[in-house]
Structure 1
Amino acid sequence: MSAGGPALFDDDLACDVRDVYRRMLEDRVPDDEATARCTTEWAGLPPEEEPVFWLALAATQSSCGRLAVEVRSRALEVIDSGVDVDRWRGSGPAAVAARAAALASLREQLTGPQPGRKAIRRPWRDVTDLEAGAALAWTAGNGLVAVLRVVQLLEDPFARTVSPVLERLAWVGREVPPPDVVAGLPAASGWHGWEPDDPAALGRRPAACIPFRLRKRDPGWAEVGMVRCGHVPPRPGDDGRWDLWIAHIMWDGLVEHLEQRLTTFPAEHP
C-alpha cells in the first residue's frame, strides 16, 4: 500500500485524486467533465487500489458540494463490501479499527445532507511576464551594473508556475549597455559563493539562477529595481536542462546577492 496511515487521505493515491480533481475545479472545468477526466485518468488501477480512488473522489466531491450519483454509489459499495478494511488486516487490529472508523464517518458524510455547491477559488500562482531572450539590468550601490538574460521559461505543470531562468552576462561598467551591445555579451564566468556542493556539478551553469515569488505580494523583477535593457537572440544550448544544479532564489534575494557580489568582489566583476 502507498498509505502512511488508516486515515482516508494518508494514502498517496487518495491525495493525488483529491488534488487533481480540485485543480480542475480551480480551472473552471465543468463538474461532469472533471469527474470523467478523473475516471479516465485512473482507469485500470489494480484491484487493491481501485477502492481508494472511489473513496477519495467521493469524499472530495462531497466536501465541494458536487457529489455525483455514480461516484457516491461506487464509494458506498466499497464501504459496505468491507473490501477496503480487509486491506488493513495485516497492519493489526488498531489499524483495522481506525480504517473502519474512517469509512464509517465517510459513509455518514455521503448519505447525509450534502453541502451546497461551493465556489472553488483559483489560487494565485507565480507566472512571469518575461519572455525568453529578454535582458535585464540592475545597478548596485557602488554604481556597477549587472546584466542578465532570460535563457528560457521553466514551467512546473503540477504547481502551474512559470519562472524565468536567468544567466548573468559578462558586462563591466557603470552604465546600462545599449541593446546592440547587450545582444552580443557572453555569459559571465560565475557567481561567487554559488558553486554547487557536489563536485560533479561544478562548472554547470555557475552564472545562472531561477528567481521566483512565493506570494503575490512578494516583489518581482521590476519591484526590486531591474529594468529591461534589450534582447538576446537564442544561443546554442538554451533549450537544455537549465533547471539542474542552479539556485532557486526569490527576486529580493537575488538582488541582495548581486549587491554583495558587485560591492564585495568588484575586481572580479563580472
Structure 2
Amino acid sequence: MVVWLALAFTQSRFGRLSEATRHQVLAILDAGGDLDRWQAAGPGAVRRRAAVLEKVRAQVEGAQPAPRKVRLRRRPRSSLSVGQVLAYRTRNGRMHLMRVAALIDMRDCGMQPAIQFMEYAEAALPDPQLLGSIPDRRRHPKWKKVELWIIDDTPQQRDHVGIQAVGFRSEADALEVRDPKSASTWAELAAYLETRDQPPT
C-alpha cells in the first residue's frame, strides 16, 4: 500500500502519473488508506496521516504537470583497457608492474578495472616487447593479494599516486575476481606495494 502511494506521488511530481497507478491509488484511498495501522499511535498521529493521504489524493486527482525529463545518472567507466600494463615505483626505487586483467561491473561504481600484479620488481622498466613474457604473481605468504578491484578509477587519481601506463599485453588472459574484500583505491594499492617491497640488494 505504502509503495503505491509513494509511486503515485513521485510519478505525479514528474508529470508521469500512469493511469494504472492512479486507479490503484484512488482505490486504496477510497478504502480508507492505511489509517487503521496508525490507530495505536493515537488520534494526533491518525489526523496527521489523514492529512498526508488527502494531499496524495489532491495531487493524484488534480491537474498533472507537464512531463519532466528524468536525467539518468551516468555510471562511471574506467578509461583503462584490458591488457594495459601499469607501473608503480616504490620508495626503494623499484618498478612494480601490474596489468588490467578485466573491467568489472561494480554496480554504483560502474565499470572498474581488475588489476593483476605481475612478477616484476626491478629498478628499470623492461623492454615493452617483453611484457607478454612476464608471468603473473602467484599467492604466497608474502603476496596474499595478487589481484585487486580498483574503485573510482580516474586518470587524476592514478597520476596523483604515481601509477603510469607503460605498455600493452595483448595476449593477457581475462581475470575473474571473486573476492569482494579485494576492492581498493589506487592509494591503497600503492601502500600495499610499499609493504611488499624489499630494498634492492
* CA contact 1:178–1:229 (8 Å) conserved in 2: no
Alpha carbons of structure 1 residues 142 and 133: separation in structure 2 relative to 1, 3 Å: same
Structure number with greater CO (CA < 8 Å, separation at least 6) is 2
Give the TM-score, by structure 1 length.
Answer: 0.59
2:25 is aligned, of 71, 75, 78, to 75
The aligned counterpart of 1:176 is: 125
Tell me how far apart the structure 1 counterparts of residues 52 and 33 of structure 2 sit (CA, whole Å). 14
The within-5 A match list for 1:225-264 is 225-231=163-169, 233-234=172-173, 238-239=175-176, 241=178, 243-249=179-185, 251=186, 253-254=187-188, 256-257=190-191, 260-261=194-195
The aligned counterpart of 2:114 is: 165
Give the Å deviation of 1:89. 4.7
The aligned counterpart of 2:62 is: 112
The aligned counterpart of 1:40 is: none
Alpha carbons of structure 1 residues 227 and 72: separation in structure 2 relative to 1, 3 Å: same
Runs of 5+ consecutive residues of structure 2 not aligned to the other structure: none
Tell me how far apart the structure 2 counterparts of residues 59 and 90 of structure 1 sit (CA, whole Å). 23
Tell me how far apart the structure 1 counterparts of residues 105 and 135 of structure 2 sit (CA, whole Å). 26
Runs of 5+ consecutive residues of structure 1 not aligned to the other structure: 1-50, 196-202
Deviations, residues 124-163 of structure 1 (Å, cap 9, x unaligned):
4221133333321233455321211223222134x27111
2:156 is aligned, of 207, 214, 219, to 219
* CA contact 1:165–1:208 (8 Å) conserved in 2: yes
* CA contact 1:155–1:162 (8 Å) conserved in 2: yes
SS at match of 1:77: helix
Amino acid at match of 1:213: D
Alpha carbons of structure 1 residues 186 and 156: separation in structure 2 relative to 1, 3 Å: closer
Report which of the two structures shows the higher radius of gyration computed on alpha carbons. 2
* CA contact 2:97–2:121 (8 Å) conserved in 1: no
Alpha carbons of structure 1 residues 53 and 123: separation in structure 2 relative to 1, 3 Å: same
* CA contact 2:85–2:166 (8 Å) conserved in 1: yes
Tell me how far apart the structure 2 counterparts of residues 160 and 60 of structure 1 sit (CA, whole Å). 26
Aligned residues: 197
More strand by share: 2
Two-structure CA RMSD over aligned residues (Å): 3.5
* CA contact 1:59–1:110 (8 Å) conserved in 2: yes
Amino acid at match of 1:85: L
Deviations, residues 206-233 of structure 1 (Å, cap 9, x unaligned):
133222228x8x8244665421422152
Tell me how far apart the structure 2 counterparts of residues 156 and 220 of structure 1 sit (CA, whole Å). 18
Amino acid at match of 2:152: R
Tell me how far apart the structure 2 counterparts of residues 247 and 234 of structure 1 sit (CA, whole Å). 20
The aligned counterpart of 2:13 is: 63
